[in-house]
Amino acid sequence: MYKRAIINHFLFLQVFFFLDWVKYLLNDAKLFKSFLRITLTCVITVGTLALGIGTASGYISPWTGRFYSLLDPTYAKDHIPIIASVSEHQPTAWSSFMFDFHILLFLFPAGLYFCFKRLSDATIFIVMYGLTSMYFAGVMVRLILVAAPAVCLISAIAASATIKNLTTLIRTKSKSPQTVSGKSSGSKAAAKVFPFFFCLCLLACFIFCIWIVEINKFDGA
């Protein structure tokens, strides 16, 4: 599997640098967009025809039951019970999410919120990657490894955005004049209390995660 990933990464780099070389030769954005559109259309058309003909003729094996069980979690249970009997193919329990992700499980929805708040090509890709990986991780317990990079990335976005907003708020309030109304003093107090409250919530979530893990260990023993 690792060799296949390395080969795919190498092929992706070759395609990327080939397109960059073509863009340098054309030296025109419109021509490059036309070339890219025609190339993608031809590749998708030829690939679809090759896949259809290969599958129909038997050169390409059809999709297996594990693939269908990703789209329909009840497929393997109804049609191929031997696949459903494997422990790695069972749906993921909440305890597994808590045991593997810990506090990141609470930061993941906040990261999605910040991604939706500042939509761009990068954040849309991150949201799609995160939601699809979490779906597949919920269908099969072995695919929780697929969701780990997305959860780490989106949780890091949540932590970074929260800390940035808090520090910006504290700096803005600290630079404001001292002789202001009671409303400003109240907002200063809130700016000082909110970071402490945020850290307290994170600590409570961390303790809760440890408690869940210890309960699972005790039950397993």
pLDDT, tens digit, 9 for 90 and up, residues 140-192: 788 888 888 888 888 898 888 888 877 887 777 776 655 444 445 555 555 55
pLDDT of residue 180: 47
The residue among 110, 106, 208 whose CA lies nearest residue 163 is 110
Q: What is the pTM of this model?
A: 0.58
1's tokens: 């599997």
Q: What are the tokens at 175?
A: 């630079």
- Mean pLDDT for 14-25 is 84
Residue extents of the structural domains in the chain: 1-62, 93-220
Q: Using CA atoms, how far apart are residues 90 and 10, in angstroms rounded to an integer?
A: 34
Residue 179's pLDDT is what?
46
Q: What is the pLDDT of residue 198?
A: 60
Helix, strand, coil % in the chain, rounded to nearest 5:
85, 0, 15
| pLDDT band of 215, cuts 50, 70, 90 | low
Instruction: Give the closest residue to 91 by CA, choosing from 130, 142, 132, 148.
Output: 142
Per-residue model confidence as pLDDT tens digits over 108-136: 888 888 888 888 888 888 888 888 888 88
Which is more confidently placed, 188 or 24?
24
Task: Give the pLDDT confidence score for residue 45 in this predicted structure.
Answer: 92
Two tokens at 178? 């001292």
- pLDDT band at residue 199, thresholds of 50, 70 and 90? low
The 10s digit of each residue's pLDDT in 66-87 is: 666 677 667 667 777 776 677 6
- Residue 196 pLDDT > 80, yes or no? no
Q: Has residue 195 got a pLDDT over 60?
A: no
CB contact at 8 A, 127 and 112: yes
Average pLDDT of 81-103? 75
Mean pLDDT over each residue of the chain, to the nearest integer: 75
Q: What is the pLDDT of residue 1?
A: 47
- Region 43-63: mean pLDDT is 80
Please report the pLDDT score of residue 2 as a whole number: 47
Rg of the Cα atoms in the chain: 25
Q: To 5 degrees, how large is the angle CA 150–CA 155–CA 160?
A: 130
